Amino acid sequence: MSQPKRELPQKFIEKLRKIVPVNQWEKVLKTFATERPTTFRVNTLKAQASSLKERLEPQGFKVENVPWYQDAFILRKGKRKDLEKTDLYQKGEIYVQGLSSMVPPLVLSPQPGQAVLDLTAAPGSKTTQLAALMKNQGRILANDNNPIRVEKLKANAALQGATSVQVLPPGDSGLVWKEHFEKFDRVLLDAPCSSEGRFQLDEPSTYGYWKEDTNRKMAKDQRRLFKSAFLSLKPGGVMVYSTCTFAPEENEMVLGWALETYEGAVESEDISTPLPAHTRGLAAWEDLKFAPTVVKSVRVLPTPDMEGFFVAKLRKLKSVPAPEPFIPSSEGIK
């Protein structure tokens, strides 16, 4: 019996066609039927990228450097399951992670000694990357609401030697600001999203849940999380908002809402990126025009090696009033 023809949701394709530049459309469409290679980064808290190839290639692996991130590699020969059996992996010297997922921490660019919040952190890919970028100097508070994922986050932080990471007990990320109002120099909000950048045609589970109202429903939670992230950020601090989805409802519209809600207290900043395939944020969507600075955001277009992603960088210009009723905590990060 023949297998039914697999197709991505038609409404999704129609929306995506309005987002992707015409000259990139065919390339982007093909990526949904392409199996991406395993990618990973070297954990610089324990190892050096310069010696990676000479350690892996004698074991039968072939790896390729990523031009825009010296600590990242693409596995061109060998299987992920075999890579995970190596001492490098078992000792936490490397971390398997999608290339697009590595972009938000790089854009956030946390510095050693800073206080950083990773608001929806599990299972810890970006949290441990932040710790490595900061050389374990400073403090990273990591939060997630799922108990099982929190345990995975703790295990990954321990394996990676990320001693600067403190993992909060499972809890509502939308309420974190109440204990940490304007306490952080940097905040990362890699928000839960509709995950359109991860759709794979041969895996219906990656897109079977998608409906026309999925983006709108996700955006409601994203705005709530954005509020928590922004209220946790110090005046003068930098925040990165990212998703692994294409939808303007979850990207530019959330960003536009934030710029309007906190007008005068936040500005969108340019993102300098050498990524091979990306566009700037949309200036408008259908009948809605966004604030001019929304176009400073970046939409990473999917390639055979990278998933689709969206990244925005914002700076908090001044303190904002806390929602009432609220009593600020006098305690710092424990």
CA distances in angstroms from 266 to 50, 63, 72, 263, listed in the order given: 39, 41, 32, 6
Q: Tell me if the pTM is above 0.85.
A: yes
pLDDT digits (tens, 9 = 90+) for 89-118: 999 999 999 999 999 999 999 999 999 999
CB atoms within 10 A of CB 166: 13
Residues 10-16: what's their mean pLDDT? Answer: 96
Check pLDDT > 90 for residue 333. Answer: no
Q: What is the pLDDT of residues 55-72, one digit of tens each?
A: 999 999 999 999 999 999
Q: Which residues contact 243 (CB under 8 A, 6 or more apart)?
A: 190, 191, 193, 197, 222, 250, 251, 309, 310
pLDDT surpasses 90 at 6: no
d(CA 181, CA 223): 17
Query: Among this protein's residues, is 193 annotated catalytic?
Result: no
Give the active site residue among 56, 94, 244, 282: 244
Which of the 8 DSSP states describes residue 113?
T
Looking at residue 322, its pLDDT comes to 85
- In the chain, the largest separation of any two C-alpha atoms, in whole Å, equals 67
d(CA 243, CA 311): 7
Phi/psi region, residue 161 (left: phi>0; alpha: psi -120 to 50; beta: rest), is left
Domains of the chain from N-terminus onward:
10-31+99-316 (3.40.50.150), 37-96 (3.30.70.1170)
Q: What is the DSSP letter of 63?
A: E
Is it the case that residue 312 has pLDDT exceeding 90? yes
Question: Cα 112 to chain center, whole Å?
Answer: 20
Residues 14-62 pLDDT 10s: 999 999 999 999 999 999 999 999 999 999 999 999 999 999 999 999 9
Structure tokens at 145: 């609401």
Specify the 3-state DSSP secondary structure of 76: strand
Tell me the pLDDT tens digit for each residue of 230-270.
999 999 999 999 999 999 999 999 999 999 999 999 999 99
Quick one: pLDDT band at residue 130, thresholds 50, 70, 90? Answer: very high
User: How far, in Å, CA of 78 to CA of 152, rounded?
Assistant: 26
Strand-strand pairing, 69-77 and 94-96: unpaired
pLDDT digits (tens, 9 = 90+) for 194-218: 999 999 999 999 999 999 899 999 9
Using CB atoms within 10 Å of the CB of residue 273, give its burial: 0 to 12 exposed, 13 to 18 middle, 19+ buried.
middle
